[in-house]
A = this chain, B = another copy of it.
Amino acid sequence: MKIENLIAQIHKKKSFLCVGLDTDLDRIPTHLLGEEDPLFAFNRAIIDATQAHCVAYKPNIAFYEAYGSRGWRSLERTMDYLNSNCPEHFTIADAKRGDIGNTATRYAQAFFKEMDFDSITVAPYMGKDSVEPFLAFEDRHTILLALTSNKGAYDFQTKKVGKRELYREVLATSKDYQGAERLMYVVGATKAAYLKKVRDLVPQSFLLVPGVGAQGGSLQEVCKYGMTENVGLLVNSSRAIIYASDKEDFAEVAGQRAWDMQKEMEKEMQARA
């Protein structure tokens, strides 16, 4: 997907919501467990109920991989469904892969080609030659981990490397990568105050922001420090939406929650327009 199409969709829907598909057999409504493919049945219902209010979907690959090839099949079905029924939605493989050369190309092939994802999250530890193979794909986007929303982010990411913190070193260095115009970054909402420093280095890049809600981040703070004239944000919510109800009404309630978030986002967009 071209970035212009994502931006157009955000303005049309007045939403920059990404729904995280962290679909877990231990948490989905029990009446779905009798289905042939419960993970896919759950996802399909969630997608149908939320698609009007969100611009992106982010399957968390670990939750599928945990069931081996069977889980991968559920992921493939989910992507087929998304690409057939919601071609305008931006899709993110939350895979946090990171390896070099032809290995990285194979991961890119898995997600960009086999499953037709628009983007993938990638870890920066191995440096340039672990990121550029992903950037080589036209109209696909690589979402590099910069500053994550977890406590362990303080272990290395915020440590000073020379004059600046590691996450800023990652931001600055990655701007010179071949294909850098296809880069986005993960910046956790629990670290909203850092967004100012992030924007100093990447004023226009899209940021994928996890951690609003469940992990305690504030949408207003994120928008205050992170929003650009093209919005430039994809705010993810997973559990707060998809597990809002564990009863037969789970999809309806998820749709309502997504709509609530869309309305909050609309307010933020208007306030900062």
Q: Which residues of A contact B (CB under 8 A)?
A: 22, 60, 62-63, 65-73, 75-76, 94, 96-101, 103-104, 106-107, 109-110, 114-115, 123-131, 145, 148, 150-157, 159-162, 166, 169-170, 173
Contact = CB atoms under 8 A, between A and B. Distances in A.
Contact of A161 (B131, B156, B170): B156
A101 to B, nearest CB: 7
A68 to B, nearest CB: 4
Given A126-B145, A157-B125, A166-B161, A100 B150 contact: yes
Contact of A150 (B115, B130, B159): B130
Contacts of A123: 96, 98, 123, 125-126
Given A125-B157, A128-B155, 8 more contacts: A66-B114, A96-B123, A125-B125, A127-B151, A127-B152, A127-B155, A129-B152, A156-B170
A146 B160 CA distance: 18
A104 B96 CA distance: 11
A126 B106 contact: no
Contact of A156 (B107, B154, B169): B169
A129 to B, nearest CB: 4
A115 to B, nearest CB: 7
A126 B126 CA distance: 13
5 nearest A-B residue pairs (beta carbon)? A127-B152, A127-B155, A62-B106, A69-B72, A66-B106
A152 B166 contact: no
A34 to B, nearest CB: 22
A25 to B, nearest CB: 11
Contacts of A130: 150, 152
A127 B115 contact: no
B76 A107 contact: no
A176 to B, nearest CB: 10
Contacts of A154: 127
A252 to B, nearest CB: 26
B159 A162 contact: yes
Given A126-B153, A145-B126, A160-B161, A68 B22 contact: no
A223 to B, nearest CB: 24
